Structure 1
Amino acid sequence: MKTKILYIALAVLALAVGAASPGLARQSGGGDIMQKAINKPSANWSVYGTGQKTTPIKDKTVQGGGAVKVEVQAASDKPWSVGAAQPISGKVTKGDMLMVAFWAKAESVDGGPATADISAVRVQQSAEPYDAAIQGGVKVGDAWKMYTVRGRAAIDIPEGGGSVGLHLASAKQTVLLGALFVLDFGPDGDANKPAS
C-alpha cells in the first residue's frame, strides 16, 4: 500500500514539475523522476524550538496519508527559532538545479484565516554554519497543496551532510507538513521558471 501511495505522490510531483517548468519535465526524460531524488521521501519531520507543539497525524486527503502538525505558539523576530527539518542523503554540487517539493496546509488560529508563512525553505548544511545551497519562502493556504522552491546551488554539500530546513516562527500559526521530495536536476536544469 505504501508503494502505491508513493507512486501516486511521484505522479503528482511529475505533473507539478511539468506544469511549473516543461524544461524540467523533459530533463527528467519522462522516466522515473526519483532518479533525481537526493532524499528519502517521507513526512517524518524533526521539529525543534520552544513555543511549539508537534503532533503526528493521519490524513487520507494528503498523498502518503500522514503529516506532522506544528502549532507555533507566538511569532518571533528569529523565525528559525521554531523549525522543521529532514536529512538529505545525497550530495549537492554548486551550480546544480535543485527543487524542494513538499505537501503542506494551514489551519486557522484564533478564528483567523487558515494561512501560514514558512519564511525560509532551505537546502542547507546539516551542521554549523548551516549555509544554504538554496533558499526561498512560501505562503501556505487552507488546502493540501504541493509547494516548491527551486534554485541553483550556491555551495557544495557533501553526501549525507545536508538537510532541508523550514523556518516556522515568523507568525503564530498552525501548519501541517506532509511528504518531502528533494530533487537535483544537475548543472543543466532549467532555472528560468521558478515554481510557487
Structure 2
Amino acid sequence: MNAWKTAFACLLVAAPVAVPAQDDILNKIINKAGSTAVHGATAKSRHDEGVQGGKALRVDSPGKPNPWDIALSTEIDKPVKAGDTLVLAFWARLEKGPDGATTVSLPYNAVQLAAAPYTPVVKDAVTVGPTWELHQVTGKADKDYAPGQINATLHLAGAKQVVDIGPVFVLDMGQ
C-alpha cells in the first residue's frame, strides 16, 4: 500500500498543469531567438551548468577606449507600443576582472534604436560579480516601435575583463 501511495504522489507531482496562454511568460519575449551577436570581439560559446540553459558566451575584452567598442546585441522582431513596460533580462558573471577585481560595472545595458543615433528607450548600468546572476533593466517605451526598429545591447569593453553572458531576453509586459 505504501508503494502505491508513493507512486500516486509521484504522478501528482509530474502531472502537467494547464496554464492559460495569456499567463505564459514565454509569450512576452520579443527578441529574436538565436539572434545574439557580439561585435568588436570574438565570443566563445561554452558549456556551463551554472547558468540557466547550460550555455554561455565568453567575451574577452582587452579594454578598449569606448565601452561600446565591444557589444552584444539581440534583435527585437515584434512591435512595441508606447507605454509598454520593457524588461531586458540577462544572465552574466565575471570570469576575470581588471587587476584582480571581483566585480565590474557594465555601464550600458539597453533597449535602443537599432540604427544611428542608437537612442536608448530603456537603459541602466549593472554590477557583475563572479557568480551567475540574473540582471534586469526595466522601463517604459516612449512611443510605438515597429519590428526591427529597436534592439537590445550590452556594452562590454569598459575594462580589461572576461565576462560570461548567458541567455538574454527582452520581454514586453504590456501597459
Q: Shorter-chain TM-score: which interval?
A: 0.7 to 0.9
Report the counterpart of residue 83 of structure 1 in structure 2. Answer: 71
Equivalent position to 2:121, from 108, 116, 133: 133
Pairs aligned (count): 156
TM-score w.r.t. length of structure 2: 0.80
- How far apart, in 1, do the equivalents of 2:117 and 2:98 lie? 36
Cα deviations across residues 84-140 of structure 1 (Å, max 9, x unaligned)? 101111112222111111111111246603323211111112122222211111111
> What stretches of structure 1 of length at least 5 have no aligned partner?
1-27, 188-196
**1:1-196 paired onto structure 2 within 5 Å:** 31-41=23-33, 45-49=36-40, 52-76=41-65, 78-109=66-97, 112-187=100-175
Is the Cα contact below 8 Å between 1:101 and 1:180 reproduced in 2? yes
Is the Cα contact below 8 Å between 2:89 and 2:168 reproduced in 1? yes
Cα deviations across residues 2-30 of structure 1 (Å, max 9, x unaligned)? xxxxxxxxxxxxxxxxxxxxxxxxxx999
Is the Cα contact below 8 Å between 1:134 and 1:154 reproduced in 2? no
RMSD, aligned CA: 2.2
- How far apart, in 2, do the equivalents of 1:62 and 1:154 lie? 33
SS at 1:61 equivalent? coil
Percentage identity across aligned positions? 37
Is the Cα contact below 8 Å between 1:38 and 1:182 reproduced in 2? yes
Is the Cα contact below 8 Å between 1:108 and 1:174 reproduced in 2? yes
Bigger share in strand: 2
Change (3 A) 1:40 1:146: same
Change (3 A) 1:154 1:113: same
- How far apart, in 2, do the equivalents of 1:107 and 1:134 lie? 27
Letter in 1 for 2:81: T
Is the Cα contact below 8 Å between 1:36 and 1:185 reproduced in 2? yes
Change (3 A) 1:79 1:155: farther
C-alpha displacement at 1:54, in angstroms? 2.0
TM-score w.r.t. length of structure 1: 0.72
Q: Which has the larger radius of gyration?
A: 2
- How far apart, in 1, do the equivalents of 2:21 and 2:133 lie? 25
Is the Cα contact below 8 Å between 1:132 and 1:154 reproduced in 2? no
Letter in 1 for 2:25: I
Return structure 1 stretches of 4+ with deviation > 3 angstroms.
none
